[in-house]
Amino acid sequence: MKLSTRTRYGVRLMAALALNYGQSPVFLKNIAKGENISEKYLSLIIIPLRRIGLVNSIRGAHGGYSLAKDPSQITMKEIVDVLEGDCSLVDCVKNPSTCPRVPICASHDIWAIIGGKISETLSSITLDMLVKMNQEKVGNAMMLNI
């Protein structure tokens, strides 16, 4: 039940964009440097985030990426859902037709309950909160490395 590296990197990527919200677009190169993650890998991860409208991109020289919404309007659930597939613990919760046991299976119901809790928690945390937690944790020092 571990999160993929893709999702973990994606969250850090979004946090980095949140830091620059309202300013000019950021080069992925710089985020990659600041977060010490391969730029190529990040460039794959950002695609679905752009596709669902969380990120805007500008191509060409002096292009870059920026958040499409205010960080207070973006939740962790949106990010996890798109990068992880969804945030349920078993496939049969999102796609009940994939398992014939669903109608007679109580553990399915358990996983649905727990998945609900996870969704609830993820929905309650915004990018904005993540950025603020970061500031409280390390001050403004680390913020400038982007």
Partner DNA sequence: TATCATTACTATCGATTTGATAGTAATTAA
Partner DNA sequence: TTAATTACTATCAAATCGATAGTAATGATA
Please report, as ranges, the residues that interact with a copy of itself according to CB under 8 A: 1-4, 7-8, 11-12, 15, 76, 80, 84, 87, 89-91, 103-107, 109-111, 113-114, 117-118, 121-122, 125, 130-131, 133-134, 137-138, 142
Looking at residue 62, the DSSP 8-state letter turns out to be: T
**Measured from the CB of residue 41, what is the shortest distance to a copy of itself in angstroms?**
16
The listed partner (a copy of itself, DNA, none) that binds 137, CB under 5 to 8 Å by sort, is a copy of itself
Beta bridge partners of 57: 65
The footprint of DNA (CB under 7 A) covers: 4-6, 9, 26-29, 38, 40-41, 43-44, 46-47, 50, 57-65
Q: Minimum distance between the CB of residue 29 and DNA, rounded to whole angstroms?
A: 6
What is the C-alpha to C-alpha distance for residues 21 and 88, in angstroms, rounded to an integer? 30
Identity of the residue, 58 or 110, whose beta carbon is nearer to DNA in the bound complex: 58
Q: Beta strand 64-67 with 55-58: parallel, antiparallel or unpaired?
A: antiparallel
- Please tell me what DSSP assigns to residue 144: G
* CB-based contact 41:9 (threshold 8 Å): yes
Residue among 26 and 75 whose Cβ is closer to a copy of itself: 75
**Structure tokens belonging to residue 46:** 């950002």
Nearer to DNA by C-beta: 48 or 96?
Answer: 48
DSSP-derived 3-state class of residue 88: coil
User: Contact at 8 Å (CB) between 42 and 14?
Assistant: no
